[in-house]
Amino acid sequence: MKDLLYTIKANTPKDEIIRQLREHPEIKFVSLVGIDLAGNDTDEKIPVRLFMKDIDEFYAGTAVQTDGSSVVLPSIATLNNAKVDMPVDPSVNWFVDYNFEYYDDATNKPVGTLRIPSFLIHEGKRVDSRAVLTDTLSFVKRELLDLFHARPTIDGLDVSGADISDISFTSATELEFWVKTPLEEAAIEEMSASQVMQEQYWERTHGAVRCALEKCVVTLDEYGLQVEMGHKEVGGLKAQIDESGHLTHVCEQLEIDWRFADAVQAADNEMFVRTIVKEIFRAEGLEVSFKAKPMIGLAGNGEHTHIGLAAVTSDGKLHNLFAAKNPYEDFMSAVGYGAIMGLLKN
């Protein structure tokens, strides 16, 4: 539906946000999305009129609170010290999640919830997963800039550290997931044999799985995520057909890829995409699992995560800090090797 509002862009002014919400009365709710240390995302239904009236309080973190029993913050928020504030994060995109099973009578459009990425604050400190990532990026940027300015010559790079004014972090994920028909079990041994023979990888999809996958690709593009591909993964088994001609015993592994983004935005994109994928497949009568190993003995959802690190020089140009000046001699720069050593250590 082209006339729906799908995204409010990062750093949109407050008055513009209010204007867009007033132009789209089908957006009835806002939801502050905090990510705890177990990767769980919070969800609420706050009337949009309250958000527009108290928008400054939402930005300050005084409009909405939760408690330590509602989120996983071990050894941080306790029962006798449980207050957790939730300020919104205006530096990233906000997505509108539409309920296509509930239409607004006045506009004849699906009712929407504006999902706003937020931080979790306990005793004045940010303690959530988004904060860990944000603070880590700030620390790495500060350390790299100090290092480059102190030692302008960087092995394997053709850029001088003295010319570097900023550091850019990017990330991209490849979302793998299993889909199956509820309450039906597929034979593990058959799927294991199919996996060994590589019968499923990039195989053509059929029926409800095809419909759902295609709807996911189209819908995610509506949100500006620039989907690059959706395809079958290595796991799965050919579905059966019942007497009415419908597919049964569906059990397949799929993957959806979309364009990279700033590291924090990429993480937010991943969380929102999971919600959209689950809803679209559920509407087709299918369950989705993003678990790393939902079925023992079969391929897990081994999601690839791509990371990029670039220097911004005073002339505004981007320089890949991982790539060597001469890849045939060095393969990677000193920064690239250092990044790999850091990953192995931590």
- Nearest Cα residue to 94 out of 21, 25, 218, 6: 6
Residue linked to tokens 């990029």:
308
Of all residues in the chain, the percent with pLDDT exceeding 90 is 68
Rounded distance between C-alpha atoms, residue 59 and residue 210, angstroms: 41
pTM reported for the whole predicted model = 0.89
Domains identified in the chain and CATH numbers: 7-127 (3.10.20.70), 129-346 (3.30.590)
* pLDDT number for residue 329: 86
Query: Looking at the predicted structure, is the pLDDT value of residue 163 above 90?
Result: yes
**Using one digit for the tens of pLDDT, what is the confidence trace for 37-89?**
999 999 999 999 999 999 999 999 988 888 777 788 888 887 778 889 999 99
**Using one digit for the tens of pLDDT, what is the confidence trace for 258-279?**
999 999 999 999 999 999 999 9
- Assign residue 69 a region (left: φ > 0; alpha: ψ between -120 and 50; beta: otherwise): alpha
Contacts of 189 (CB under 8 A, 6+ apart): none
**Using one digit for the tens of pLDDT, what is the confidence trace for 212-251?**
999 999 999 999 999 999 998 876 666 666 666 666 667 7
**Residue type (1 letter), 20:** Q
Rounded distance between C-alpha atoms, residue 179 and residue 227, angstroms: 20
**Residue 8 pLDDT grade (very low, low, confident, very high; cuts 50, 70, 90):** very high
Query: Looking at the predicted structure, is the pLDDT value of residue 198 above 70?
Result: no
* pLDDT number for residue 201: 59
**Backbone torsions φ then ψ of 88, nearest 5 degrees:** -75, 160
Interval 78-107 mean pLDDT: 93
